[in-house]
Amino acid sequence: MGFFDKLFGKKEEVPQLPPFDLSHFVNDMHSHLIPGIDDGSRSMDESIAMLAKFESLGFKKVVTTPHIMGDYYKNTPEIILGGLEDVRSTAKQLGLSIEMEAAAEYYFDESLMNRLKNKEKLLTFSDNYLLFEFSMMEKPDQIDQLIFEMVTQGYKPVLAHFERYGFLFGSIEMAQKWREKGVYIQMNLNSLTGHYGPQVREQAEKLVDSGELDFIGSDCHRIEHLMLLEKNLSLPYIHKLADLDLKNQSL
């Protein structure tokens, strides 16, 4: 260390971690890959490009989860499963080996409560996991009733991207409370890259540190999301995910 380094207290550089191997997670359980039915993929070409990128990153399977949201994304099981078969068929023709399944990401609104009250069969993945989301900024009413309805009907509710809800910023206490009631917590991988802003990144890091986390997902809408993730695989907090007991591998 030179004289000026001693004088001004230059810090030693921390060695950069190697890129994390995403094949550790095996499966991704949150994405928007069916073309033209929500705000995700806009064409079959985009869908295939994203699937090929998932495969190159080491994933063995993706569960794609199109939005179902009141009058905005009026997707049905028939629309989603029909779109799934189209993408699967094209991927097979092009020689991709990655597996693909489909469920849905249900927005918590009156239509979801009505579906539950009417005992409609909802689209789930793996062991009856049901992915749902809240409004990003406003805390919805009747959260406890929603959780009760889902659990008593045999669903395993998975709250999408916990770290992105503005009404929860600064605390992860609700993650623990909801997990105790039977809710599983999912976090977006790109939240750790800062893609959604510094407050979301801070909340995501708190989730990782606390261990109050069950699933990670790409929430991939565009191939750029996967490219951004690939550029940030050396981040310490992405490496820390390997120490958690996540459920992605068992899907």
pLDDT tens for 208-249 read: 999 999 999 999 999 999 999 999 999 999 999 999 999 999
Structure confidence at residue 15 (pLDDT): 76
Strands (E), the chain: 27-28, 61-64, 67-68, 99-102, 105-107, 129-133, 156-159, 184-188, 215-217
CB 131 within 8 A of CB 160: yes
Domains, in order of start, for the chain: 25-244 (3.20.20.140)
Is pTM beyond 0.85? Reply is: yes
Spell out the residues 6+ positions from residue 72 whose beta carbon is closer than 8 angstroms to its own.
none
Mean pLDDT, residues 86-91 taken together: 98
The predicted structure's pLDDT at residue 229: 98
Q: Give the pLDDT band of residue 3 (cuts 50, 70, 90).
A: low
How many helices (H) and strands (E) would you count in the chain?
A: 9, 9
pLDDT of 28-84, one tens digit each? 999 999 999 999 999 999 999 999 999 999 999 999 999 999 888 999 999 999 999
Q: How confident is the model at residue 13 (pLDDT cuts 50, 70, 90)?
A: low
Which of 148, 143, 141 lies closest to 117, judged by CA?
A: 148
Q: What pLDDT, on a 0 to 100 scale, did the predictor assign at position 148?
A: 97
Burial profile 99-126: b = 16 or more Cβ within 10 angstroms, e = fewer: bbbbbbbbbbbebbeeebeeeeebbbbb
